[in-house]
Amino acid sequence: MAFTVVGFIGLCSLLLGYGVHVEASHRVFSNLQSHQNTTATHQPYRTGYHFQPAKNWINDPNGPMIYKDIYHLFYQYNPYGAVWGNIVWAHATSTDLVNWVHHEVAIKPSIDSDINGCWSGSATILSGEKPAILYTGGDPQNRQVQNLALPKNLSDEFLREWIKPPRNPVMTPIDGINASSFRDPTTAWKGLDGRWRVIIGSQIDRQGKAILYRSKDFIHWVRAQHPLHSSNNTGMWECPDFFRVSVNSTVGLDTSLNGPSVKHVLKVSLGETQHDCYTIGTYDLKKDMYIPDNGSIDNGFGLRFDYGKFYASKTFFDSSKNRRILWGWINESDSEQDDIKKGWSGIHAIPRNLWLDKTGKQLVQWPIQEIKMLREKPVDWQSTEMKPGSVSEVLDVTAAQVDVEILLDLPTLEKAENMDPSWVDPQLLCSEKGASVKGSLGPFGLLALASKGLKEQTAIFFRVFKDQERYVVLMCSDQSRSSLRQDLDKTTYGAFLDVDPLHEGLSLRSLIDHSIVESFGGNGKACIIARVYPELAINDNAHLYVFNNGTENVMLSKLSAWSMKKAQIIY
């Protein structure tokens, strides 16, 4: 339920009230949790085409699914204020994953087993195309328990009303389960015996666990003797996700269907680091155990969906287009007081199509095709040489709300800097070698949400190093100069990109939307979201540039940019 960052602090405030000591990542403004605020009139940071409600707090995406050709998204929401508290399941629907209609709250505290909160969970489509939701509730003893909700009227394609069977809760923390770390049920799947399976995130003494349950009827659940998977020294596993991917195709797969040429993915949100990490491996259907592949590790140094602000993610199988779609929550980089002033906090990333890379070693992510419907006024450049120190503005685009793709080629790699063996942390390396630090092959890339004169800029760029007989590509998102304000989180993010610049160009796509720069490197092999709040580079005063701050020439083989229309969101 993403109690971490800001979700976790909500649980912390609950537990502290019952005399339990819990570490929180930052302060909780409990006196403001039910504060009714109004949306400020000056809103330079509200997004134009990313998902967000009209006002107030939003965090985890919950229960995404498609039902009767309608996409459904539920999410953690505070109806009364712009900070965490009073959490319910809000609900919106769409026919294209871009334009949305908001509905009345779908699930809110109403029974003993959720009276202290309705936390995160997932949707499963049962036999006969019947949706069911499993979600975490806080019971009168403040234990975390799992509840079931069902549609009241299956003929209502918008599924606007949900009921809770009297059997609730359907899973409780017994037999040694940590009652304060037992949450976020996944989408369920069927095993060889026809029984449903689901995993719940948990931890015991910093050992992260995916606790496995089985059921014949989706109501009576029995805990398995062993977890699906566990790992030491990782801390709490929040918002787990478990799904199949094809080895030889980019199409998505229903997790309940079994067959050859598949791998399985286990993703967990690590509460201690605020990272969504995943492994690729094999699922033993008979033993109900998941085994990561060699080299696919569970901790924060393993694979991540996104190397910037991205947490509590959730996937679903889009049966209408045979694809797996990934949602993620993006929290703010300013203060709670700032959020209260502007009247809202949190947005969701653009939904991403997700599949297994041809190497089988990582996933690839790419913005859904439908987002292109918002493109207008295209700008194209072809074969432009970027000399050392050059900065060129991309004109005739709405730079505060733009989709831009570039392809960069290096005429020579002979002068690539040597890779130091100690450079194992890409984020630290990007912090030390930001956009203003000249190198040989790099930094080169984009300057987004930049002011005239470049006092403000968010730089997304590459550097290339030589490591013995191979080349290493570093992708960075440098926020250190993103705003004149000093009281913001300006973390610089980084990732190593698994591409070979000797045989292929370096591609970069950035979706820029007022206060977010969502970037995809190497055709989706590495993703980085930056959350920025410029003071000068807002609305019509925002600019977009390409730059090369290295000592060697770089060829901009292609640039395509589109101003983006606003998504239609009905509140």
Q: Which residues are known catalytic residues? A: 60
Tokens linked to 236: 């709490």
User: What is the CA 78 to chain-centroid distance, rounded?
Assistant: 20
Distance CA 293, CA 309 (A): 27
| Angstrom distances, CA of residue 272 to CA of 236, 351, 431 | 7, 25, 21
Which of 288, 292, 262 is closest to 277 using CA atoms? 292
Tokens linked to 6: 């800001």
Burial of 294 (0-12, 13-18, 19+ CB in 10 A): exposed
Asked whether the beta carbons of 449 and 464 are under 8 A apart, the reply is no
Q: Which residues pair with 354 in a beta bridge?
A: 324, 365
Q: Residue 349: CB partners within 8 Å, gap ≥ 6?
A: 50, 306, 310, 327, 328, 329, 330, 518, 529
Distance CA 535, CA 63 (A): 36
Tokens linked to 57: 């707090």
Q: What is the torsional sign of CA 533, 538, 544, 545?
A: negative
3-state secondary structure of 360: coil
Which of 280, 278, 212 is closest to 245 using CA atoms? 280
- Strand runs labelled E in 4-129: 56-67, 70-78, 88-94, 100-107, 118-126
The dihedrals phi and psi of 316, each to the nearest 5 degrees, come to: -150, 155
Asked whether the beta carbons of 61 and 11 are under 8 A apart, the reply is no
Distance CA 63, CA 26 (A): 27
Asked whether the beta carbons of 560 and 546 are under 8 A apart, the reply is no
Distance CA 320, CA 317 (A): 9
How open is the CA angle 256-169-227, to the nearest 5 degrees? 50
3-state secondary structure of 374: helix
